[in-house]
Structure 1
Amino acid sequence: MPLGTLERSAPPFFKQGPSALSRLAVFSALALFLMVADARFDMSGPFRKAVATALYPVQWLMLKPVEFAHHAASYFQSLQATQQELDAAQQKMTLMGQRANQAEQLALENGRLRQLLALRDRLETPAQAAEVIYDTADTYTRRVVIDRGQMGGVEPGSPVMDEVGVLGQVTRVFPLVSEVTLLVDREQAIPVLNVRTGVRGVAYGDPVAGHGGGMELRFMPANADVREDDLLTTSGVDGLYPSGLPVARVFRVERRADSAFARIYCVPLAQVQGARHVVVLKPLADNALARPEPAHAVPVKRGTRK
């Protein structure tokens, strides 16, 4: 093909239209016109409102995840703070409950100690205070251990009382501690006196009776004058217990036609379970006054017969 026949103009695909400088001048003039028109006549106000109204749902949808995340963070923060405050309040309530229980227990012990002091002042028998350390591990006996022993002047057979009545008797003495057998032990017996009738008897321990153990007044005739709520005190005939100490109270009397003896059940007045502070008395035999020695007869000189 001859060279003269070739078209030297650019194809339509590569045609660029107006030049870049022309377009810059046109758009600059249009922008200046719009700026002046907007400043003078506020022509873009309705357009802005229309655009803002059209874009508001989109903005609302776009802001919802942000608000949800913010509310969720604040919710979990407030929940954690509330849980911490609840834990602190529970700890404070627990501490206050413990203090209240301790205060109540201290007030109860204070009242019992006052009663023990008043009891010791009323007793004519020498006595000393002691504290129960623990119960013995033997399940077949009812014994406790106190913090007074041979070095404290405790002797075997010494009566032990709480603020209400006789609790038991010292059966073993060690240098620093002593073992006390309670009245409800099956091997324990104590001579008693019915305050209403003046009849003497012997009360034996009955660990099976009741929840914490009781006592039984044995070998009483079926027609004996014993009633419910009769008060039993120590009779003092055994040489160990001083007379007049409260021991138990009758709560049931059973009379059977086929038996010559009545079944009399008693409840000890002392706190056989949970006793903390007690008073240890001297045995009555040690408190007895020594008998005065008989005066030696003065020899009488007989006159000599003359």
Structure 2
Amino acid sequence: MSLGTIDRTPPPFFRQGPSALTKLVLCSALAVFLMAADTRFQLTRPLRSAMATALLPLQQALKWPVRLADEVSAYVQGLDAARSGENAARLQLARQSELASRGALLAAENTRLRALLELRPALAVPALGAEVLYEAADPYARKLFIDRGERHGVVRGSPVINEAGVLGQVTAVYPLSALVTLLTDRDAAIPVLNERTQQRSAAFGGAEGGGALELRFVAANADVKAGDRLLTSGIDGVYPPGLAVGTVTRVDRRADAGFARILLAPAAGLDGVRHLLVLQPTAMQLPPRPEPLAETGRADKPAKGAKTAPAERPGSAAAAGAAAASTTAAGSNATGTPPATGSRP
């Protein structure tokens, strides 16, 4: 045996070196030193930047198959959604075409019937677009300021709506802005009509902490139930008829009360409103109200033996009606604009 083949290393029993505990302590100290040095002196930031730059192409290459699969899946899903939307749009277009044809026939029939009965044509309500500036500073009121005012043709008492229904009413007009009181304000009120039963009533704001409306003075046995849709009645001379006001959400009937407690959810979302329409009050397009008979101290005495007409007798129903008409006419302003019916005194 040659001497080159003999293993000259000592056996493991005689090897000398640091112990395992010493290695652990040294490695732990080195790790703590590197973390502290990297935190305070940013020693490894260049190394990390260089490694991130070098590995970026590899990361992009490895991510490409996953991105391609996601794009293919999104394309397929978008294609299916587009086809479903197209089918729904075609179906809706067919329904709207049918409704449009029916509407044209009904409009023509309505025109003929109005001409036959010698009724005046339906009122055209002018509208003015506006944008909300800011809310009123009063935390207990639901009021908005809009960027249209007296110079733009806005008058006090004008209804305010959006695409969903009635929002409120203009209660104060300034040269370049106006104050709108929302339906849920505690001082707001609006006459409504039940679409199902054609029953008229009045809705007041301030219910449920200012987030709902309430039908007041409705008999406990009235035909009102949850889900009824309420519209503007159009008899107040302010709101055009047929505008959505709200939907009945709760009806509480108590045996010990003569009236039911009826809560409404506003049809128009009153929170987050940005754009709206200001309508002209319908009373501005109606014929002027007849002036009451002027009372003079020198009334002509009736002829001898002639009887007094019933309408002129004090305390008669006709006299009471004339007094009511006089009070109503005195309540309107000189410009013919109706008083604000949307706010209670």
Q: Aligning the two structures, in what range does the TM-score lie when normalised by the shorter sequence?
A: 0.5 to 0.7
Name the structure 1 match of 2:166. 166
Q: Are the structure 2 counterparts of residues 207 and 220 from structure 1 closer, same or farther at C-alpha, using a change threshold of 3 Å?
A: closer
Name the structure 2 match of 1:196. 196
| Structure 2 CA distance for aligned equivalents of residues 156 and 81 of structure 1 | 71
Name the structure 2 match of 1:277. 275
1:46-100 per-position Cα deviation (integer Å, ceiling 9, x unaligned): xxxxxxxxxxxxxxxxxxxxxxxx99853354459999xxxxxxxxxxxxxxxxx
**SS in structure 2 opposite 1:172?**
strand
Matches within 5 A, 1:3-152: 73-78=46-51, 124-152=124-152
- Alignment RMSD, CA only? 2.7
1:131-185 per-position Cα deviation (integer Å, ceiling 9, x unaligned): 1111111111100011100000000000000101000000000000000000000
Name the structure 2 match of 1:288. 286
Does the CA-based 8 Å contact 2:196-2:229 persist in structure 1?
Answer: yes
Structure 1 counterpart of 2:192, one-letter code: V
Shift of 1:287: 1.7
1:266-286 per-position Cα deviation (integer Å, ceiling 9, x unaligned): 001011111111110001110
**SS in structure 2 opposite 1:167?**
strand
Q: Are the structure 2 counterparts of residues 123 and 277 from structure 1 closer, same or farther at C-alpha, using a change threshold of 3 Å?
A: farther
**SS in structure 1 opposite 2:231?**
strand
**SS in structure 2 opposite 1:74?**
helix
| Structure 2 CA distance for aligned equivalents of residues 78 and 137 of structure 1 | 58
Structure 1 counterpart of 2:168, one-letter code: G
| Structure 1 CA distance for aligned equivalents of residues 47 and 241 of structure 2 | 78
Name the structure 1 match of 2:233. 235
| Structure 2 CA distance for aligned equivalents of residues 73 and 127 of structure 1 | 66
| Structure 1 CA distance for aligned equivalents of residues 220 and 159 of structure 2 | 31
| Structure 1 CA distance for aligned equivalents of residues 239 and 55 of structure 2 | 64
Structure 1 counterpart of 2:162, one-letter code: D
Name the structure 2 match of 1:225. 223
Structure 2 counterpart of 1:183, one-letter code: L
**SS in structure 1 opposite 2:179?**
strand
Shift of 1:237: 1.6
Structure 2 counterpart of 1:184, one-letter code: T
| Structure 2 CA distance for aligned equivalents of residues 227 and 196 of structure 1 | 10
1:5-40 per-position Cα deviation (integer Å, ceiling 9, x unaligned): xxxxxxxxxxxxxxxxxxxxxxxxxxxxxxxxxxxx
| Structure 2 CA distance for aligned equivalents of residues 165 and 176 of structure 1 | 25
Structure 2 counterpart of 1:221, one-letter code: A
Q: Are the structure 2 counterparts of residues 82 and 285 from structure 1 closer, same or farther at C-alpha, using a change threshold of 3 Å?
A: farther
| Structure 2 CA distance for aligned equivalents of residues 205 and 282 of structure 1 | 22
Structure 2 stretches lacking a partner, 5+ long: 1-42, 57-121, 291-345
Shift of 1:290: 5.3
Structure 1 stretches lacking a partner, 5+ long: 1-69, 84-121, 293-306
Does the CA-based 8 Å contact 1:162-1:271 persist in structure 2?
Answer: no
Aligned length: 183
Q: Are the structure 2 counterparts of residues 242 and 77 from structure 1 closer, same or farther at C-alpha, using a change threshold of 3 Å?
A: same
Structure 2 counterpart of 1:264, one-letter code: I
Q: TM-score normalised to the size of structure 1? A: 0.55
**SS in structure 2 opposite 1:168?**
strand
| Structure 1 CA distance for aligned equivalents of residues 288 and 54 of structure 2 | 79
Does the CA-based 8 Å contact 1:229-1:249 persist in structure 2?
Answer: yes
Matches within 5 A, 1:172-183: 172-183=172-183
Task: List 4+ stretches of structure 1 deviating above 6 A.
Answer: 80-83
Name the structure 2 match of 1:251. 249
Q: Are the structure 2 counterparts of residues 79 and 218 from structure 1 closer, same or farther at C-alpha, using a change threshold of 3 Å?
A: same
| Structure 2 CA distance for aligned equivalents of residues 71 and 273 of structure 1 | 53
**SS in structure 2 opposite 1:266?**
strand
Q: Are the structure 2 counterparts of residues 244 and 76 from structure 1 closer, same or farther at C-alpha, using a change threshold of 3 Å?
A: closer
Does the CA-based 8 Å contact 2:165-2:244 persist in structure 1?
Answer: yes
Q: TM-score normalised to the size of structure 2? A: 0.49
Structure 1 counterpart of 2:149, one-letter code: G
Q: Are the structure 2 counterparts of residues 198 and 78 from structure 1 closer, same or farther at C-alpha, using a change threshold of 3 Å?
A: same
Q: Are the structure 2 counterparts of residues 72 and 125 from structure 1 closer, same or farther at C-alpha, using a change threshold of 3 Å?
A: closer
| Structure 1 CA distance for aligned equivalents of residues 274 and 160 of structure 2 | 12
Does the CA-based 8 Å contact 2:123-2:285 persist in structure 1?
Answer: no
Does the CA-based 8 Å contact 1:147-1:177 persist in structure 2?
Answer: yes
**SS in structure 1 opposite 2:48?**
helix
Percent identity, aligned pairs only, is 52
| Structure 2 CA distance for aligned equivalents of residues 72 and 276 of structure 1 | 50
Shift of 1:242: 1.2
Structure 2 counterpart of 1:128, one-letter code: L
